[in-house]
Every structure is written in structure tokens, then in C-alpha cells.
Structure 1
Amino acid sequence: MSLIKSISGIRGTIGGKVGDNLTPLDVVKFVSAFGTWLQNNKNKKDLTLIIGRDARISGSMVNSLATATLQGLGINVIDLGLSTTPTVEVMVPELNVDGGIILTASHNPKQWNALKLLNEKGEFISGENGAEVLALAESEDFNYADVDDLGKYETRDDAFDIHIQQILDLPMVDVEAIKAKKYKIVLDAVNSTGGIAIPMLLDKLGCETVKLYCEPNGQFPHNPEPLKEHLGDICELVIKENADLGVVVDPDVDRLALIDEKGEMFGEEYTLVAVADYLLKNKNGVAISNLSSSRALRDVAQTHNSEYFASAVGEVNVVNLMKEKNAVIGGEGNGGIIYPELHYGRDSLVGVALFLTHLAKENKTVSELRAGYPSYFMGKKKIELTPEINVDDLLTKMEKEYQNEEVSTVDGVKIDFENNWVHLRRSNTEPIIRIYTEAKSQEEADKLGDDMIAKIKSLI
């Protein structure tokens, strides 16, 4: 079974049986539910939604189904075609429409696709609203429009230009400083829409782009999650081209990974750290990440006399805490930059512009910049659960076991020791407890994970 219904959207593999996978009937049902929910909650007759997609193979088919379904409900559609997640998010308030749907399964392999649902602010709908949409989908209580009331359809091809111009206009993006450096940058866009958008941005910033896997045909040449083990080709090409850095984005361009001039990973966790360093150096404020992100962000915030707070895992949770604390910068350790001066969504394009500004102003190489940050190493382990184990009781026992340490129960149990931390979370999709650790060495991080597994087993 490969259909995952979450509060923020519907994700599944293409093909197979209705209700088990993301079939055409499932697309129609869930788009109908979202459209109906909007109609039920808006005090206006004519609704308009923006729709955009990444370049995966199924995108055109899913787009046709979703668009026609919205029109069938009497909802107008503005179709951006090939786009990015942050571009759709920016365009919703830009065009003053009622919401949006992004067709992307983010870093999942090519057989996956998804419907990501946006409110009128261009932000992911809340958990409460998502639950209401899922309930409507189950009830199938839809009322489609008569022939004279079908929704209108139009396309736009200027969304990237608008998004990029908004980035260039940001006071903290120094276009001239970047242009003066004439950076040579290798880009791996995993044959999706980053191959269109990122070169457009880099051209405006006076950079030379060496394209690797930038044809938006949805044929992912490697696992699309931007992790070290998948990025050997770009690491080699950065060295071969004598480039200043490498830029890697996932299929929908909301995650940003960087490669230094030596062909080494900058570290996904450190994309946010570097951008926060630049912003907090210029404006004291608050930085936000989730509980499973690196302690390095907290360290950098403290060096600038700024505050750091951690949210539960999940972009919606990060955004909610950013709003509560009026944060200057936030995001997730997977390379997701959220810069509220532009919009409340992970955005690789603004991440690139802010990082290059920082790099230019520091007048350092990428490796020199990275060397200036605290070095932490992360470990990820898991422990299998049997049906008779009460996970809540188990996590409560772990909380009491380490009550003399700094403990957070915002999302599972996170224990902050003096020199390392561990985060225990129940998986939403598998019968396991995930164990995330971070320490000053990989060996220490892995040992901490093993120690926690032993401690959990002793409490079962």
C-alpha cells in the first residue's frame, strides 16, 4: 500500500488499485475534497487556485486530472505548468488567489507523486484544516458545477521571473557583491524544474552555470534526495571544472545542498547554519529549526547574541513557531531555508542568493566558510516495535530516566547532554522508534545511538 494521506497532502505511487496508490480516481477524489473544503470556508462565489508541478513523468497526467476536477467544481485555475514548490507558494499571494496545489513528491523516486495543498497565504494548510479535507474525501460529499458555471482556465509563464525578481529586491541579497565575484557554479537539478529556475537566478547574479542533470524530463539520474551518497557525479564535476561551488536541489526545489570547491559536501545541515550566520550578523533576532536539526544553528545564534528555539519536526510546525517568535530565519536541517522576508516556505532559490551574498561578503572559499562553523556529526538508528509495546509509556520512562538533563517532549523525547543530544520519535509510517543523535564525532554519535537502544530495551 503506497497511498499516504497526511494533514498537508496526499502522496502515493502512480498506478495500481484505487485507494492503495495514487490512481486517477484518487487524484480526482482528493482534489474534489480540497476544492469543496475551500468553497465551504470562503465567503465568496468565484474561487481561483494556482497549480504548478515538478518535472516528474506523471506530472502532466496528474495536472490534467487536478485541473479538470477544479473546473468541474466551478473553481478557476491558473496553471503555472513546470514550476517549483516555492514559486507556487510565492505566486498565491502575488496573484491574490484563494489557494494552490503543488504536484510534487519532493525527494521521492520517480514512481511517486503528491498533492500539496496551500491556503490563501501560499502556506501549507494547517493540521486541523488538513483533517477536515481528509474527512470530506472519505465522505465524497461533492457538488459539481452546472455547465454554465464551470471554472475558467488560464496559463502563466512569468512565475519564475516574478519569484526571482522578488529575491533580487530583498535588502539582504547583495546582487553587486555576488556579480563582482563572477562565481562558477555546477548545478545538479536531478532533471527537474530546478534546471530551469536556478540557472535563471544565477544568470541574474552574474554567475556562470555548469549544468548537470538540468533537463526537466523527470528521468532522475540518481536518487533525488540530496544526500552525500547520491552526489558523486557533481562532486567530481566541481573539481574537473575548477568551480567555486556546487549547488544541488531536489525535484521541487525546496531543499538545498552545497558542495565546496574541493568537491566535498558542505553538509545539508549547514546550509541553514551559514545563511543564519549571515542574517544574524546583520540583525539580532531569533533562529528556528526542528528538534532533529543540528546544534550548530543554536551555537551560531548564540555567537550573535540571538535566540534559538526548536519546533516539532515538520515544516508546518517550524513555520508556526517562526511566526510565534517573529523569527529572522528558520528552516530544517535537510537544507530547507525559510526566509520570512520573502515567504513562509522552504525555498532553495532564496537560499542560494543569501548564501552567495554571505560567501561574497566574507571573501572566503566555501571550504573556508565551512571550517568556521562548529563541527557536529549525526547518527540515525531505529528500534523495531512489537504490538504489545506501549510507545508512549516507553518514552515517558526515558524522559524520567534523564530528568536531570535538558529534556524536551514537544515531539517525542529529546535529551540534550552537554556535548551531544539524542532525539527519540515514534515513526508515523512504520512500527519503529527513530533515534537521532548528534555529537562531536561520528563514532560518538553512533555509540550514543547504540547506548539509547540498550537503555530502551532495558525498560521494555
Structure 2
Amino acid sequence: MTLIKSISGIRGTIGGKQGDNLTPIDTVMYASAYGTWVKQQREKDEYRVVVGRDARISGEMIQQLVMNTLVGMGIHVVDLGLSTTPTVEMAVMMEHADGGIILTASHNPKQWNALKLLNKDGEFLNAEAGQQILDIAAAQNTSFAEVDDLGKVTRHDAYIDLHIAEILNLPLVKTDAIKKARFKVVVDGVNSTGGIAVPLLLEALDVEPVKLYCDPTGHFPHNPEPLKEHLGDLMKAVVDEHADFGIVVDPDVDRLAFVDEKGEMFGEEYTLVAVADYVLQQTPGNTVSNMSSSRALRDVTEKHNGSYQASAVGEVNVVQKMKDTDAVIGGEGNGGIIYPELHYGRDSLVGIALFLSHLAEEKIAVSELRKRYPSYFMAKKKIELTPGLDVDGILKKMEETYPNEQLTTIDGVKIDFENNWVHLRKSNTEPIIRIYTEAPTQKEADELGERFKKELQELASK
């Protein structure tokens, strides 16, 4: 059982002992720390926080604990109930709220849950704010409201509809072309809130949804991370239903992957590539992804005469780099689309709408669209860390070993060779060094990963 306290939020497994897992006591402690932080940001008479959750079995319990803790601090709560991460982010902005909390452990299995924390702009907290909340929790000196000053909970069930309405109003979402195309799409909602939101979006666009695992029970029918090895049922259903393609999202709907009309994976890394290609055709500009994402985004960006930049891993880092470079589209290679014309957060719903627009405008099959993009293959390996190992020193030595190559050191060490790259970084959540590689063939990517795994082990033994 596990409790992980980090600057990006609090996540853990349900049950077990306080301090070791995400127990009710831990939930209250970190919710109250967040409430204290919210009050510290600005002096005002009333505070309001938006709270929503994915469909995890523990979600209702955790949400009640979080909301009533905030109420006890005199903070008003806007309760979205079952929702999506991007919908909560949108609601914070539309409510002019002081922050938001999303109760989801993203792609983690059902025994996990988490408090994902937002600022008043509906964006994830930066490292400084995250550390402040951890410090407040550690101090355990939260002040609660007197009886006449308790907060109130207001239920608001319309925000998924409002979120979809905002998407349909975007100039680059070609609603008429999509409706004319009469697409048929299989949706794997992994029995979470994607099973609510994605079909609603498709129906608004006159796309026929074939629902697969769209009952939001929280009993995930397969590993909820949207990877090929977990999606056999979706791949089969697309072919059996003679659908135009398939869609899968993770439990909180911020990661998006496609299956083509032949039942083959479009490639999670290529979700962002395809959407960026469409956006850049319409609105030329710059792009951003994190350092562990495919080089294909850089290639597509340069094809449209834009500039590509890589950020450190983590959505908050991608968002900051997008703001710094006025990027028109960005995200992460795990299927996360960030379209700032709507909001600065990974959003599968806007990604779906832009992808449908791309297909409708081009009048092209999904498999043919995939052939337009350069093919790269990734390998992901890791090295277990032993106590006392100087990881930063090892990565510094690796940097010194390749002085003539293109190096990026904002997040570990990334070495860009002419035809491939390797990214070496210490994990934020596990005692390991991650080794990501990308090359023109899977064999080359695997071999590059093994080569650098050996080089790291040799440096560690010296």
C-alpha cells in the first residue's frame, strides 16, 4: 500500500494505515492544507472551490471528505459530481473560483485515488505552490470556521455540457463538415467518466458512438492506461462494427488514443502529432511537448515553418513553456492535448473534436492519415536505484561523455543524435532511472536503450 506526497498532488491506495495510504484522515489533512493555501493567496470575504471526480469506487467517499473539509473551513464548494479533469479545469475558470480539486488517480488501477490540485486559473499548481501545501500539511495548524461561517455545497451537473458547448464554438472545430461526414466511432470509456462525456460530444457532432465499457461504475474492464496491450477489445470492436475508428481515454479523460479503421493502433504518441498538424495548417505557430515525447512533433512543426520547444516532463512544465513561446498547440506524447484557445490543460474532448475536424476536412481514412507522419519507435527501460547512489553525479558524468552532441539538461539528460535520441531521468515517483529512447525502427530503439542502460550501470559501479 502506498501514499505518495508530491508537489503535483497527493495520491495513494485506499485502505490501510494512516500516513502509509490515502486514508480518510490523510484525505482530510491534505484537503485542509489546500484550503489553507487557497485562503493565503488573496484576502476576500468568500472563497469558492470546484470539486469533481472520476468514477473510481472510492470516489464518492473521498469527495465527501474533501468537500466537507472545505465546508468546515468556511469555503463554498461547487460540486460537479462525476466529471472529467478538463471539465473541472474549465469550471474553475467559468465559475471565477479560487481553485479546484479533481479526485482521480488518472491511469492508475482502481485501488488508487488522488487529489489533483488546481489554482484559480484552472491549471495545475507549480512546484512552489505544491511545496507550500506539503509544508502546511506537515505543520498541521489548519484553522476551521465557526458555526455561522461554514461553507455551503452547491451541486452543478451541467458543466460537461458547458464544456462541450465551448468546444463546439471553437473556430477550428468544423461542426458542419463533421456532421456531413457521418462518422461511426467505437468509444472505450474504461467504465469511467469518459463513458459519459465522449458519447455526449460525439452525439452533438452527429457522430454515431458505439459504446464499449461506458458504464461509469469504476470497475475498470482492463488496465486503464491506454496502451496497445490493453486494448484488444476495442481493436476488435472497431473491425466488427465497421467503424471509422476507435477512441479510448483514461479514467479522468486527459489522455487520448485512437485505433484506425483496420483495428490497428494509431499510436499514442501520434495523437498530439496529428492534432498539431491540423492546428498548424489552420493557425501557423509554435509547439511544445515534453522531452520524452516523439520527435515527430518537431518534424511536423518545422514542416509548417513553426518552432518546436521541449519542456521538462510534467503538464505544468509543458504549460509554462507554451506560455513562454506563445505555442498554438502542445501537450505530452502520452496522448495529452493542450489547446490554449480553449484552456491550458490536457483535454481529450477538444482533442477528439480537432481530430474529427482534420478527418472531415481531409476526407481521409485514419490509416491513411497515419502514413503521412514520420515513423519513429520508442523503447522505455529503467534501472533500479540502490541506496546512497549519486544519481545526479552519474547523469553529470553521462553529460560529460557526449560533449559534441546536442544536450538538454533541464530534466535529467537528453542526448539528441542525428537519427535518434535518449532521455535519462530520475523518476519522481519510483527509486529508478528512466531510460527513454526513440529511433526509426523498434530494433534500433531497443538497442539504444540497452546500450545506455549498460553505460549507466558502468558509471554507477565506478
Counterpart residue number, 2:426: 426
Per the alignment, residue 370 of structure 1 pairs with: 370
- Whichever residue aligns with residue 271 of structure 1, its letter is T
Return the offset for 1:97: 1.0
Which whole-Å CA distance do the structure 1 matches of 2:413 and 2:84 have between them? Answer: 34
Deviation at 1:45, TM superposition (A): 2.1
- Quote the residue 2:33 is aligned against: 33
- Among all aligned residue pairs of Structure 1 and Structure 2, give the percentage whose two residues are the same amino acid: 66
Counterpart residue identity of residue 116, structure 2? K
Question: What corresponds to 2:387 in structure 1?
Answer: 387
Partner of 2:127: 127
Is the partner of 1:4 in helix, strand or coil? strand
1:383 and 1:64 mapped to 2: Cα distance?
40
**Alignment match, 1:44:** 44
Match of 2:200 in 1: 200
Question: How far apart, CA to CA, are the structure 1 residues paired with 2:20 and 2:160?
Answer: 35
Match of 1:184 in 2: 184
The letter of the residue matching 2:279 is L
Q: Which residue does the alignment assign to 2:19?
A: 19
Q: 2:405 maps to what in 1?
A: 405
Q: Distance in 1 between matches of 2:197 and 2:429?
A: 33
Q: Secondary structure at the match of 1:29?
A: helix
Aligned pairs for 1:62-77 (under 5 A) are: 62-77=62-77
Per the alignment, residue 285 of structure 1 pairs with: 285
1:61-97 deviations in Å (ceiling 9; x for gaps): 0111111100000000110100000000001110111
Q: CA deviation at 1:454?
A: 2.0
Gaps of 5+ in 1: none
Match of 1:328, SS state, is strand
- TM normalised by structure 2 equals 0.99
Residue number in structure 2 paired with 1:104: 104
What CA distance in whole angstroms lies between the structure 2 residues aligned with 1:184 and 1:46? 47
Length, aligned pairs only? 460
Aligned to 1:57: 57
What is the alpha-carbon distance in structure 2 between the residues aligned to residue 160 and residue 335 of structure 1? Answer: 20
Once the two structures are overlaid, the 10-residue window that deviates more, 424-433 or 336-345, is 424-433
* Amino acid in the other structure paired with 1:126: N
Distance 1:360 1:351 in 2: 14
Deviation of residue 321 (structure 1)? Answer: 0.3
Quote the Cα distance in structure 2 between the aligned partners of 1:451 and 1:27. 43
Q: Deviations over 1:296-349 (max 9, x none)?
A: 000000111111000000000000100111100000000000000000000000
Residue identity opposite 2:295 in structure 1 = R
Q: Deviations over 1:179-202 (max 9, x none)?
A: 111000000000000111111100
Residue 93 of structure 2: SS of its match in structure 1?
A: helix
Alpha-carbon distance in 1 for matches of 2:249, 2:127: 27
1:142 matched to 2:142? yes
Tell me which amino acid in the other structure corresponds to 1:355. Answer: F
Q: Distance in 2 between matches of 1:43 and 1:188?
A: 44
Cα 1:166–1:43 shift into 2, 3 Å: same
Cα separation, 1, equivalents of 2:105 and 2:327 = 28
Q: Which amino acid aligns with 1:170?
A: L
Amino acid in the other structure paired with 2:77? V
- Displacement of 1:387 in angstroms is 2.6
Per-residue Cα deviation, 1:134-158 (whole angstroms, up to 9, x for no partner): 1000111111111111001110111
- Quick check: 35-44 or 285-294, which moved more? 35-44
1:91 counterpart SS class: helix
Deviations 1:196-252 (A, max 9, x none): 111110001110000000000101000000000000000000000000000000000
Equivalence for 2:334:
334
How many angstroms apart in 1 are the aligned matches of 2:395 and 2:215? 47
Structural mapping, 1:226-305, within 5 Å: 226-305=226-305
Instruction: Look up the equivalent residue of 1:441 and give its one-letter code.
Output: T
**Structure 1 residue 388, shift from structure 2 partner:** 4.1
Alignment-mate amino acid for residue 307 of structure 1 = S
Name the SS for the 2:299 alignment partner: helix
Q: How far apart in 2 are the matches of 1:67 and 1:377? A: 44
Q: How far apart in 2 are the matches of 1:18 and 1:437?
A: 39
Output the CA distance in 2 between the equivalents of 1:116 and 1:95.
Answer: 18
Q: Report the Cα distance in structure 2 between the residues aligned to 1:209 and 1:181, rounded to whole angstroms.
A: 14
Structural RMSD (CA): 0.8
SS at match of 2:410: coil
Q: Does 2:350 correspond to 1:346?
A: no
Q: CA offsets per residue over residues 397-447 of structure 1, 9 Å max, x none? A: 111111111110010000000000000001223332110000011000000
Counterpart AA for 2:35: G
Residue 89 of structure 1 corresponds to 89
SS in 1 for 2:257: strand
CA distance in 2, matches of 1:37, 1:151: 16
More displaced, 200-209 or 423-432? Answer: 423-432
Distance 1:383 1:92 in 2: 40
Cα distance in 2 for residues equivalent to 1:430 and 1:156? 38
Q: Provide the rounded CA distance (Å) in 1 between the counterparts of 2:459 and 2:109.
A: 38
Q: Which moved more, 1:229-238 or 1:422-431?
A: 422-431
The equivalent of 2:78 in structure 1 is 78
Task: Name the CA distance, whole Å, in 1 between partners of 2:278 and 2:244.
Answer: 19
Aligned equivalents of 1:171, 1:105: Cα separation in 2? 33
Alignment partners' CA distance in 2, 1:106 and 1:285 = 30
The 2-side partners of 1:35 and 1:63 are apart by 14
Distance 1:430 1:5 in 2: 12
Within a 5 Å distance, the mapping from 1:147-162 to structure 2 comes to 147-162=147-162
Q: Secondary structure, in 3 states, of the residue corresponding to 1:77?
A: strand
Unaligned 5+ segments in structure 2 are none
Does residue 322 (structure 1) correspond to residue 322 (structure 2)? The answer is yes
Q: Distance in 1 between matches of 2:387 and 2:151?
A: 49
Give 2:351's aligned amino acid: G
Offset, 1:386? 2.4
Counterpart-to-counterpart distance in 2, 1:389 and 1:112: 29
Q: TM-score, normalized by length of structure 1?
A: 0.99
Q: Work out the CA distance in 2 between the residues paired with 1:8 and 1:401.
A: 33
